[in-house]
Chains A and B, each alone.
Chain A
């Protein structure tokens, strides 16, 4: 077991950040923590990286206890905080060398691990870290977190504020790292990234709502979902929300995800109702539930 969290709770003054959280991450697994801002993701990361002590419960990382063996954990994990936190006035190369030295290793020793990532930023190795673009910064931070060949890698919202192309590249990098046997715990507020994880935990208000694979987690959605579209989005949402049989109505890109309370729901009834509301070009089609739908359902 690479990460094991048992009944962890943490409060800050009168605010509870984590309530009785338990989960386990297998060795070599890419585990996603999915939840909105303020759900407690970062607090959990800080506990697992031994920066914060939990009020109750136990946690082990790479089979080391988070409280008693915290020194061993620090030698065996890589942590990439959500906020860029390398030395901005050191160059790319100096940052990497600095972190290698702190961990008592050298760049050469573990170069094969970071090679794929480092070659992308190598042309800028003499540039100061503060002058890098967002995507470049993330790559450098990932290199620094990997330089000591950690067993477990913690990535706290690594793609927040990064452009879509860099985000995609970043996840491809994580997938490649996984093949090298590194366990990864990633948090993200983006539901589309969740589908790339082996297993995900949906977390809200310090509680885990559900843990499963992305493929299975959508099955927790109890209803059939329909894509509904019409000429006027705003009016469509309002009309659907006023429809007496609606179970859930969420805008989803160019469609509205709609589900009905009735088991014998017939889409033509809905179409007739919407036409009465002066909507045109109405289209209704069945669709599969997404992680986002499931999250909204579970978070109700």
Chain B
């Protein structure tokens, strides 16, 4: 069992961090070139050169392109009108039609931005070529903004995801194992045998939960090593602070696990309830979707989500190098949660019925 506890989460960390990407790549791009001039070819070449687009096909008609979109063969159709080059040179303006498959709305938005960037870039270069020198004097000076991305300069999504996924696996393993373990004792009858002994409640609870507390630390350690060595995630803040917060956070999770096991009779029931809460906690933790973009009522619910605080602290300490005073709000809430959950667990655990 012990090897499984450690091997599976590592696999999870490696696979998820590499696969669960928000970057939109390999966009299936196609075009209808009604102009067929050097200008139109140059535009298409720009798309071809981009790593985000796979230039797939050149459709002879709008109808065929639409059919391909329906089948899901292409994501984006760029239609270049007739006399594209001529209009651009003569009138200095022309229209392009872009059709995007928006079944995945978020992806479509990102694709739109990519396409606009490429076209803008093309436009700028075309201006240089076409516009007569004497006009250049009156041309407004271009304002370019150079963004600087703090705490994750290269916008490497792995830097963002790995700390979050680390939270996820520390949480899942400790919650499932602790919840399952005590219910298992109920199932095989050893709990009854323990209950007739003079052992104190707190002795039993500590004895049952302490191993999982240690396992949680083991998982965090292995996860951090992988994050550093394999994904090269910066660990700017204090490792000690991370461990300190984790020690309190694990109490919350173990308390929840113990609480669940007090109200279930079989491992199946415990598993089901643990899953229910884990899924809600994870999806509402800000790990995959930002909490700020959730509806207000959902944002209130996330206040009760311990995973949210752990994800925040993990990212703050690892990436921003936050110190203890920065994480005081998360820390106090987690501490309160730990006290409440373990209090409820101890109260609801009864040695007799």
Q: Which residues of A contact B (CB under 8 A)?
A: 49-53, 70-71, 74-75, 77, 79, 81, 83-88, 99, 102-104, 144
Per CB-CB distance, the 3 closest pairs between chain A and chain B, nearest first, are A85-B189, A79-B196, A85-B193
Q: Is B198 an interface residue (CB 8 A)?
A: yes
Q: Binary interface profile of B, 175-210, with partner A (CB < 8 Å = 1, else 0)?
A: 000000000000011101111111100000000000
Q: Is the CB of A49 within 8 A of B189?
A: no
Q: Binary interface profile of B, 318-353, with partner A (CB < 8 Å = 1, else 0)?
A: 000000000000000000000000000000000111
Q: Is the CB of A103 within 8 A of B197?
A: yes
**How many contacts between A and B, using CB within 8 angstroms?**
45
B29 to chain A, nearest CB (A): 59
Q: Is the CB of B352 within 8 A of A70?
A: yes
| Residues on the A chain within 8 Å of B352, using CB | 50-53, 70
Cα A70 to Cα B193 in complex, Å, equals 15
Interface size class of B (residues with CB under 8 A): 10 to 19
| Residues on the B chain within 8 Å of A74, using CB | 196-198
Chain B interface, DSSP helix/strand/loop, else mixed: loop
Q: Is the CB of B198 within 8 A of A52?
A: no
| Residues on the B chain within 8 Å of A49, using CB | 196
| Beyond known contacts A51-B351, A53-B352: 15 more, CB 8 A cutoff | A49-B196, A50-B196, A50-B352, A51-B192, A51-B195, A52-B353, A53-B353, A70-B352, A71-B198, A74-B196, A75-B198, A77-B196, A87-B190, A102-B194, A102-B198
Among B189, B194, B197, the most chain A Cβ lie within 10 Å of the Cβ of: B197
Cα A99 to Cα B198 in complex, Å, equals 10
Q: Is the CB of A85 within 8 A of B192?
A: yes
| Residues on the B chain within 8 Å of A79, using CB | 193, 196
Cα A201 to Cα B195 in complex, Å, equals 27
A selection of 16 A-B contacts at a CB cut-off of 8 Å is: A51-B192, A51-B353, A52-B352, A52-B353, A74-B198, A81-B193, A83-B189, A85-B192, A85-B193, A86-B190, A99-B197, A102-B194, A102-B198, A102-B199, A103-B197, A103-B198
Q: Is the CB of B192 within 8 A of A102?
A: no
Q: Is the CB of A81 within 8 A of B353?
A: no
| Residues on the A chain within 8 Å of B188, using CB | 85, 88
Among B195, B196, B351, the most chain A Cβ lie within 10 Å of the Cβ of: B196
Among A71, A83, A102, the most chain B Cβ lie within 10 Å of the Cβ of: A102
| Residues on the B chain within 8 Å of A102, using CB | 194, 197-199
Cα A104 to Cα B200 in complex, Å, equals 12
